Structure 1
Amino acid sequence: MRTAAYVEILDREGALLAAAAEAAGTDAEVPTCPGWRVRDLLRHTGMVHRWATELVAEGHTGPRRADDPPALDGGPLLSWFREGHERLVGTLAGAEPGVRCWHFLPAPSPLAFWARRQAHETTVHRIDAESARGGEPTAVGADFAVDGIDELLCAFHARPKSAVRTEGPRTLRVRATDAPDAVWTVRLSPQPPVTVREEDA
């Protein structure tokens, strides 16, 4: 997927998240995040949005700690979330393709990394907000869902810190049911998993 497509998804998903959070109310429990209420979800996602914005906009080449979210609630918290989301979308849309900044997974460029990562981060938490609101969740496009699985298996779990390990060697085959050409082979061992995606398998 292209960076611009990720930014479009991020824009849409953040708006859906805010709408679902507003409909649910900030005191509503989030079934998909036990122990959280909607206010916790907004504070977390808003904090991550601002952290990513700062890294890209200011070109930090090393990791930086995210600022703690403010102790807002209700309407002011929703406004704070929407403002931070809008700033992130604008920063990613307006950034130079060659912008240099810290990122923590392999990617074609730092900008491509942050657009992809924030699109998926926001989509996951949009689904959380819709679970708090109740009713049918908004569908995730098959191509984007496949991309999220790919990020999880080929990037997140390829890191040395991955806890997905086995005492003896094992092999998993992961196949997307609504995208038959998306197949991954995951080799497990005492070391971090090694995943290969097989196109048109």
Structure 2
Amino acid sequence: MGLLTHERYCDEIIRLTEELRAALRGADLGATVPTCPDWTLRELAEHVGRAHRWAGEIVRTRSAEMVPDDKVPDNAPADDDPATLDAWLADGAAGAVAALREAGPDAEVWTWAWEQSTGFWARRMALETVVHLADAALTADVPYTVTPELAADTIDEWLQIVVFVQAHGDREAAELRGEERSLHLHATDVPDAEWLIEIGADGVTWRRAHAKADVAVRGSLTDLMLVLNRRLAPGSDRVEVLGDAALLDFWLARTAFG
């Protein structure tokens, strides 16, 4: 498992948004999202729709700099009607995907990260939707599933983000350095889905590997992804934590950016 194709990411943006829309239908849009307590379910949905439109506008215009929110067309639903929100979400995903497909993966555009390409935005928007779909499903009390490829890629990308923001001065991530310590993620339902995260004097490094670590987390691949993204508590009976549980808590507390 590794990076998916550009077309697959585009397909997933559409499919995952359809699942998000399905989770919202009939749900209390004023309910607080437990995993994002500053947001209601409606605000979570609007965040996803705005993210799709923002990335789509960057790609569509081949922008070499960040596009301000007020320059993004149709950046909010027209009214509070759930049907309007549903159509707005669908249109945002479709517009972003149309721009991404027209551009292909290799056009140079602004991003906030390590790669200045349209392919970055296809992956980022797909995986953004993976995580926020989990938020919505939890709030609406509906089932949540994700393919192994997407779950593994979400873990990979999140670890890339941690390394990137640490290198660029994030104060919380800066504390993930010093004494050598390690964390191991071990999926129990997917072969070879394992990660070794190492903290050392120079900061965080990671690789796909089976190795002994100071703390290990075992569970389904989806649940490992949810723990790493702070969507499932490490004390849940869905995962097993072996070794230095305080180190896992330390990691999660210092990777809460974004």
TM over 0.5: yes
The answer for unaligned runs of 5 or more in structure 1 is none
Asked if 1:89 corresponds to 2:89, the answer is no
In the alignment, which residue of structure 1 is the partner of 2:248?
none
- 2:195 pairs, out of 159, 184, 187, with 184
Aligned residues: 198
In the alignment, which residue of structure 1 is the partner of 2:40?
37
Provide the rounded CA distance (Å) in 1 between the counterparts of 2:207 and 2:134.
Answer: 28
The higher relative CO (CA closer than 8 Å, separation ≥ 6) is in 1
Partner amino acid for 1:171? S
More strand by share: 2
Give yes or no for contact 1:52–1:114 (8 Å, CA) kept in 2.
yes
Pair 1:97–1:168, CA change in 2 (3 A)? closer
Partner amino acid for 2:133? R
User: Percent sequence identity over matched residues?
Assistant: 32
Q: How does 1:50-199 map to 2 (within 5 A)?
A: 50-67=53-70, 69-70=75-76, 72-74=79-81, 75-107=83-115, 110-137=117-144, 139-153=145-159, 155-159=160-164, 160=167, 161-162=169-170, 163-164=172-173, 165-189=176-200, 191-198=202-209
Where 1:188 maps in the other structure, the secondary structure is strand
Give yes or no for contact 2:65–2:109 (8 Å, CA) kept in 1.
yes
Give yes or no for contact 1:48–1:66 (8 Å, CA) kept in 2.
no
TM-score by length of 1: 0.85
Provide the rounded CA distance (Å) in 2 between the counterparts of 1:25 and 1:110.
Answer: 38
Shift of 1:84: 1.2
RMSD over aligned Cα, in angstroms? Answer: 2.5
Provide the rounded CA distance (Å) in 2 between the counterparts of 1:98 and 1:194.
Answer: 27
Partner amino acid for 1:130? A
The superposition leaves residues 112-166 of structure 1 with CA deviations (integer Å, 9 ceiling, x where unpaired) of: 21111111101111122222221322x111121011111111x101112453414
Provide the rounded CA distance (Å) in 1 between the counterparts of 2:7 and 2:29.
Answer: 31
TM-score by length of 2: 0.68
